[in-house]
Amino acid sequence: MSAGDEVEDLLESSNLANALESDRFKQFLDHVPFAVIVAELQPQERITYANLEFERLTGQPPADIDGRGWQALAGDTIVGVDGRKLSQAVFEQEDYLGIFIIPSNAPVSIDAWSHVIVDDSGKPVFRLVALARTSAAARKDLELQLREKDTLLRELQHRVKNNLQMITALIRLEARNQSDESGQTLERLAGRINALALLYNALSGEEHDDSVDLGAYLSQVASAVMQAHAVEGIRLDLRVDAWPVSVNVAMPAGLVVNELLTNALKHAFVGRDHGTITLHSLVDDTGCRVLVADDGVGLAPNTSWPHPGKMSALIVQSLQQNAGARVTVDPGPGTGVRVAIFFARASAAPESAATAQE
């Protein structure tokens, strides 16, 4: 009989709720060939028991999880094929949950089950989670699924990038045939789409993970904007540090920089044949400071950036919400526009790095 069959038999046992309160039954569970973890549901769901096989399978002593929630399992770093953590999956479905990986020096693949136990009156009283080491065939199948998923993701990103680049080209072509105001709107839209295409390009690298090098990405955005709106005599002062951030941070940051550089090239140097645009993205122990500035004419009196209700305001709001960014704007007339953005390290970290620090 397989471990899966034994788990199913255990879950179908009669009077299981009463048995789980018995020390004798817990002694029996210490000899079953799969890991068993039990949590009481009332008054607050907390783990109250793990058998000996749990420690042998996971390398985690039962004392480490006793009295804690399910997030205590292996530091909450067990992930499934579909990206869920095991501690999340136990709440979302019952019975068989799927195959998961326990990361360690020698990663272990496991099958997992979750089952709510009710008493004679039908009241939920326990949650039982069972873990069993997968077979060699199942491990190979899991590895194949992961490789296929990674290949499909790369292909999807490549296609999306190509489509975005084509859309950008078509919009810019159409902009040339429009009136000044309509053409400028289309050009601005094309710039935003191109910034997203660059992000997809960064994600489709050979060694991609869930992070984007913010410095490298902003450099690419700046190069694309300068190429699309190049003005003779305007110099770009570019200084960037490498810094991995989450995609949710890189995307709005790239869009904000795209907006500011485009604005500067189109409006900051009216009536002048020279000027300097600054883009710095510099990192220290506290985080990253992004500076976008120009030495142009500045904003007109009684105007502000970003303008409420405009797309730029929504992009800045996304940057503040996704990364806890602090944005300050100094738009002094005659002294240029200076926008400073600060990201704290913890707020902008990729999800994998943030999880490892917990």
Task: Write out pLDDT tens, residues 194-248.
Answer: 776 777 677 665 455 568 899 999 999 999 888 887 778 899 999 999 999 888 8
CA–CA separation, 271 and 101 (whole Å): 63
pLDDT digits (tens, 9 = 90+) for 282-331: 999 999 999 999 998 888 777 888 888 777 888 888 888 877 899 999 87
DSSP states of 69-95 = -GGGGGGG--EETTS-BHHHHHHH--E
What CATH code is assigned to 3-134?
A: 3.30.450.20
For the chain, domain boundaries: 3-134, 136-208, 214-358
Backbone φ and ψ of 135, nearest 5°? -75, 165
When pLDDT is averaged across residues 259-275 and rounded to a whole number, the result is: 87
CATH 3.40.50.300 fits 214-358, yes or no: no
Q: Which residue has the tokens 């019975």?
A: 95
Those residues with Cβ within 8 angstroms of residue 102's Cβ, 6 or more apart along the chain or in another chain: 57, 58, 74, 78, 108, 109, 110
Query: Degrees (nearest 5) of the Cα angle 160, 255, 293?
Result: 150
Distance of CA 134 to the CA centre of its chain: 28
Task: State which H helix or E strand residue 192 sits in.
Answer: helix 180-203
Least confident of 45-49, 121-125, 148-152, 315-319: 148-152
